[in-house]
Amino acid sequence: MTVTVTDISCTRGLRQVLQGVSFNLAPGDSLILRGPNGVGKSTLLRVLAGLGPVAGGTLDLNPDDVAYSGHLDAVKFQLTVQENLAFWAGVYDTDQTIEVIARFDLTKLKDRLAGSLSAGQKRRLGLARMVLSGRKIWLMDEPTTSLDAHHTALIAQSISAHCAGGGIAILSTHLDLDIPTARTLDLAQFIPTKTTDTSIFLQGSF
């Protein structure tokens, strides 16, 4: 279970967003993606999760190890906090719902409808799914959005613990998260300078 990314390019629509991204992660590693708005953090994470096309280079990771959380929380407003997690527990076939609820500080909220949570509470509920999935490779897009300082630290701890247990985490963030073992990758260096013409419609002229 490793992640090997070699010279990958990403496109979004017709636009080439990233070029030549490479990195290797072994169990226990974590990688923080940084870079200004619009550099391509979300795009790269979607590609890694198998939710976007690989426009060039090779990607070597087992999709069955991946758990993904994006800008959206994937939370059902009409279900309670516990029901939301119980559903994902069913999907990932585990029974850790209660433990996870406690770990993410959701015990008090557990019978509330998710629609009535505040922004940060929803976020926490969304992230709890990562632990529940039991999967080894976590891909998280700005996980601490809307979280207060206390819960930001809690998430950072969760990630550290996950990696300490042999997991891998790749996350994007604009904040400084306290994950001591994490490497940082600044995506700004992969902004395509001279775009290679990936589109077949740009090869040759007519």
Partner 1 sequence: MSLWEYANPVKFMRLTGRLLPFLCVLTAVSLATGIIWGFFGTPDDYKQGSTVKIIFIHVPAATMAVSAWFMMLVTSLIWLIRRHHISALAAKAAAPIGLTLTLIALGTGAIWGKPMWGTYWAWDPRLTSFLILAVFYLGYIALWKAVEDNDTAADLTSILCMVGSVFAFLSRYAVNFWNQGLHQGASIAVNKEQHVDNAYIYPLFLSFAGFFLLFVTLVFVRTRTEIRLRRAAALQARSL
Partner 2 sequence: MLALFTRDLKLAFRSGGGFGLALAFFLIVVMFVPFGVGSDLVLLARIAPGILWIGALLACLLSLDRIFQLDYEDGTLDVLATSPLPLTGITAAKAAAHWVTTGLPLTLAAVPLGYLLNLPQPAYIWLFASLAIGTPALSFIGAFGAAITVGIKRGGLLLSLLVLPLYIPTLIFGALSVTKSVEGLNPLPSLTLLAGLTLFSIVLMPFASAMALKSNLKG
Ligand X SMILES: Nc1ncnc2c1ncn2[C@@H]1O[C@H](COP(=O)(O)OP(=O)(O)OP(=O)(O)O)[C@@H](O)[C@H]1O
The contact set with ligand X (CB under 6 A) reads 12-13, 15, 17, 35, 37-43, 116-121, 146
Among 13, 93, 200, 204, binds a second copy (CB under 8 A): 13
Confirm or reject binding of residue 87 to partner 2 (CB under 8 A): yes
Among 63, 115, 165, 166, binds partner 1 (CB under 8 A): 115
For the CA atoms of 133, 105, 51, 76, the dihedral, rounded to the nearest 10 degrees, stands at: 100
Number of residues written out for the chain: 206
Among residue numbers 13 through 42, which ones bind Mg ion (CB under 5 A)?
42
Integer angstrom CA distances of residue 193 from 5, 6, 26, 38, 189: 20, 18, 30, 15, 9
Q: How many CB atoms lie within 10 A of CB 144?
A: 22
Concatenated DSSP letters of 120-172: HHHHHHHHHHHHHHT-SEEEEESTTTT--HHHHHHHHHHHHHHHHTT-EEEEE
Q: Which is nearer to ligand X, 41 or 136 (CB)?
A: 41
Among 26, 51, 119, 188, binds Mg ion (CB under 5 A): 119
Among 93, 180, 193, 203, binds partner 1 (CB under 8 A): 203
Q: Which does 152 bind (CB under 5 to 8 A by kind): partner 1, a second copy, ligand X, none?
A: a second copy
Confirm or reject binding of residue 72 to partner 2 (CB under 8 A): yes
Confirm or reject binding of residue 36 to partner 1 (CB under 8 A): no
Of the candidate spans 31-39, 59-67, 83-91, 95-103, the one that interacts with a second copy by CB under 8 A turns out to be 31-39
Q: Hey, what amino acid is at 98?
A: I
List the structure tokens of 183: 């490497």
Q: Which does 158 bind (CB under 5 to 8 A by kind): partner 2, a second copy, Mg ion, none?
A: none
Integer angstrom CA distances of residue 93 from 87, 97, 177: 9, 11, 31
Q: Hey, what amino acid is at 95?
A: D
Confirm or reject binding of residue 44 to partner 2 (CB under 8 A): no
Q: Give the x/- contact pattern for a second copy in 41-70, rule: CB under 8 A.
A: -x----------------------------
| CA–CA gap between residue 15 and residue 7 (Å, rounded) | 17
Q: Hey, what amino acid is at 3?
A: V
Confirm or reject binding of residue 150 to a second copy (CB under 8 A): yes
